[in-house]
Amino acid sequence: MKNLTLVFVLSAFNPLVSTQFFIVAAKTIIIPSTSFNSQADFDAEWGYNYPWGTDHNGAARMAKSQVQLEPNATLTLTAKKASGEKAATHGGKQIPIKYLSGTVYAKEYFTVTKGGGYDFAAELRATVTKGTWPAFWLTGVKGWPPEIDMAEWKGSGKISFNTFNTSSQVRARDVAYPSPNEFHSILCEVRDAGNGRDVSARFTMDGKVIETQYGKGFIGQSMYLIIDLQMEGSSGSPGPNEDTLFQVRNLEVTSYNP
């Protein structure tokens, strides 16, 4: 669903080059806020599991059965204990599978062009229990990096905002995550940083700007958008025995690419 709404001029200051620059961009809704309203709306925009399959880098295997659309237009991902599952393989290592869980990805690719960018906005309710690893993130289609973790929770009681330039060149910011049983609004504004090569990612939670990070060479690189409830891995172990929920509503993606 792409809805061209208006054309306007953005003015921004790039601290990397200390110059003012102007962007003429069309505001286009790429994923509308109604994509969780019905199964038909969901199917138009989203696919189940990861773009590459059911497994990744944690102790959960993804299954369509663990993804639900609630009557109030909320996406619910549920992780539950499982046994007898074949181990996953990631990075040449075997990872025991202890859970079945839910992950979805947007069918659209997201590529920041020169002078362009995107807004990724959503309301999310995420657990901070040890061994739970929900995330709202972007990762490269044709290789890694790029990666921008627009919101990630790793069982520490905090929320993380991260940008990976390489496996060792990472900007990570952890801040307090109050009232985890409530929904919180997340906005990530990804833009051409002003040099036609790099992107800026400005992270906002509940209307408060957290910080801006930079991805080197991200311009022109297509990215997947993933909503993920992984378990254990970077969030530690053991994970919980009871079911874990990750919920998302009012998600909208807007393009400003020329």
Residue found under tokens 């003015």: 11
Query: Is there a contact between 145 and 173 (Cβ–Cβ < 8 Å)?
Result: no
Given the residues 45, 152, 189, 232, the one annotated as active site: 152
Catalytic residue list contains 182: no
Instruction: Indicate which residue of 85, 123, 147, 182 is catalytic.
Output: 147
Contacts of 187 (CB under 8 A, 6+ apart): 119, 120, 121, 203, 204, 205
Determine whether 147 is an active site residue. yes
Check: CB of residue 127 under 8 Å from CB of residue 153.
Answer: yes
State the catalytic residues. 147, 152
